[in-house]
């Protein structure tokens, strides 16, 4: 049984990996995409934000579908939809057709992360789920680490469209693998669960939950600002060749993986509230120092790498405590709470490139990163006040 579970977990992890991998595989080519379609930076960034918006909102549809129609019955059509969207992006010579392909990709690949978590809950005993979830989450966070590296190599030696052929091949492999290896794990006697509107409002009415979700929104807003504006910053400061751009994304997203491991271990020594407060102010400090160095033109390449790594590590440290705190707050509605949480943080990721473009046009790098600093510190302050009130109340 353990061997079979590992086989199933591999297929699920591949499907979940494709979602974030797709977000970042073409970020090193954003400038080239703008030139190819003759569109401005806002419209280029829209291809990322639209994907992320749909990825966020579609969780409210895919979750109930998984619980009523079945895990495998939801995943396989989703992978086919993602495959179709990837092929459209690959052959598209028109910006709006490319945007439509990105939307199809997002609609389809949402099933990967939702089904993976559900199946792990179905096939693993409670004491084994933590390890399985860790493997699955590691694969998810490897997506944005490897995406820019693969994408920069593709763009350097082939047409940037080729990245979407790679995604189509990955979708086809994931479809065939899961069609053969993944059984239907939804219990036959499982009754469809009805989620009322009051369930969502009840979660958002909780002050602690609101403060955690506000923090997640701001942190992912900042994360995607760095992802989208890093290629232009590298051109502006260092004239980095295309083949090397992808390497600069690795400190940021690899830091998340390292931070997630560290954050899980810190829970044995610090309270979730303490971890969240320290890491949130720490991220604010990193962004503050980054902006100062950028403003005074002393942002050397090694310093930039350290800042990216620091942001990623502190974000990763915060993530386990964010999700664990929400699960603890909503024992009977933890699945719905996590769905709302994912929606909120993905929305922050989607807004980042669009709002960031407007801010950059208004005031350049100063407006972009000073605004980010103010938002992060505001979220940290709200979180600190809320946690102190809860501690006083108890």
Each residue of 207-235: pLDDT tens digit?
999 999 999 999 989 988 887 888 888 88
Domain boundary among 140, 167, 187: 187
- Residue 202 and residue 181 share a domain: no
- Residue 209 and residue 180 share a domain: no
- Residue 216 and residue 292 share a domain: yes
- Residue 202 and residue 183 share a domain: no
- Residue 92 and residue 230 share a domain: no
How many independent structural domains does the chain possess? 2
Instruction: Please report the pLDDT score of residue 191 as a whole number.
Output: 47
- Residue 155 and residue 209 share a domain: no
- Residue 84 and residue 51 share a domain: yes
- Residue 318 and residue 230 share a domain: yes
Q: Name the token pair of 184.
A: 């239907």
Each residue of 37-96: pLDDT tens digit?
999 988 998 898 889 889 888 877 776 777 778 889 989 999 999 999 999 999 999 999
Instruction: Please report the pLDDT score of residue 129 as a whole number.
Output: 60
Instruction: Please report the pLDDT score of residue 393 as a whole number.
Output: 59
Domain boundary among 187, 219, 240: 187
Judge whether 206 and 329 are in contact, CB under 8 Å. yes
Sequence-distant (6+) residues with CB within 8 A of 42 are 354, 357, 358
The number of residues making up the chain comes to 394
Smallest Cα–Cα separation from 210: which of 28, 379, 34?
379
77: number of Cβ within 10 Å: 15
Q: Which parts of the chain have pLDDT scores under 50?
A: 191
Sequence-distant (6+) residues with CB within 8 A of 102 are 47, 50, 51, 85, 89
Place of tokens 């958002």: 204
- Residue 30 and residue 6 share a domain: yes
Instruction: Please report the pLDDT score of residue 189 as a whole number.
Output: 62
- Residue 324 and residue 227 share a domain: yes
pTM of the model: 0.72
Domain range for 114 is 1-187
Domain boundary among 128, 155, 187: 187
- Residue 176 and residue 253 share a domain: no
CATH number, domain with residue 303:
1.20.1250.20
- Residue 124 and residue 88 share a domain: yes
Q: What percent of the chain has pLDDT over 90?
A: 38
């Amino acid at each position: 049984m353990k061997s079979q579970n590992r086989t199933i977990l591999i297929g699920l992890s591949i499907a979940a990996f494709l979602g974030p991998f797709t977000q970042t595989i073409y970020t090193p080519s954003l400038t080239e995409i703008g030139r190819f379609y003759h569109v401005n930076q806002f419209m280029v960034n829209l291809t990322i934000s639209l994907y992320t918006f749909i990825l966020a909102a579609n969780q409210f549809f895919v979750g109930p579908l998984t619980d009523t129609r079945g895990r495998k019955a939801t995943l396989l059509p989703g992978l086919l939809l993602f495959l179709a969207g990837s092929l459209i992006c690959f052959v598209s010579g028109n910006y709006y057709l490319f945007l439509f392909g990105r939307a199809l990709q997002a609609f389809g690949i949402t099933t990967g992360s939702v089904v993976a978590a559900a199946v792990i809950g179905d096939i693993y005993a409670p004491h084994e789920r933590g390890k399985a979830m860790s493997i699955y989450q590691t694969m998810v966070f490897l997506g944005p680490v490897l995406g820019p590296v693969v994408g920069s190599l593709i763009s350097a030696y082939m047409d940037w469209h080729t990245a979407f052929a790679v995604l189509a091949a990955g979708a086809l492999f994931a479809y065939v693998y899961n069609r053969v290896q993944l059984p239907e794990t939804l219990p036959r006697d499982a009754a469809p669960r009805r989620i009322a509107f009051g369930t969502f409002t009840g979660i958002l009415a909780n002050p602690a939950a609101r403060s955690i979700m506000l923090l997640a929104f701001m942190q992912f807003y900042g994360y995607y600002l760095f992802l989208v504006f890093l290629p232009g910053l590298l051109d502006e400061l260092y004239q980095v060749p295309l083949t090397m751009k992808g390497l600069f994304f690795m400190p940021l997203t690899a830091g998340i993986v390292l931070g997630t491991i560290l954050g899980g271990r810190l829970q044995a020594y610090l309270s979730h509230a303490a971890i969240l407060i320290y890491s949130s102010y720490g991220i604010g400090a990193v962004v503050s120092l980054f902006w100062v160095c950028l403003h005074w033109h002393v942002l050397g390449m090694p310093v930039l790498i350290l800042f990216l790594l620091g942001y990623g590590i502190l974000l990763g440290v915060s993530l386990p405590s964010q999700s664990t705190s929400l699960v603890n707050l909503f024992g009977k509605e933890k699945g719905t709470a996590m769905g709302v949480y994912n929606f909120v943080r993905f929305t922050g990721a989607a807004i980042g490139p669009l709002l960031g473009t407007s801010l950059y046009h208004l005031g350049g790098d100063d407006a972009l990163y000073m605004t980010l600093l103010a938002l992060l510190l505001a979220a940290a302050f709200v979180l600190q006040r809320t946690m102190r009130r809860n501690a006083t109340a108890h």
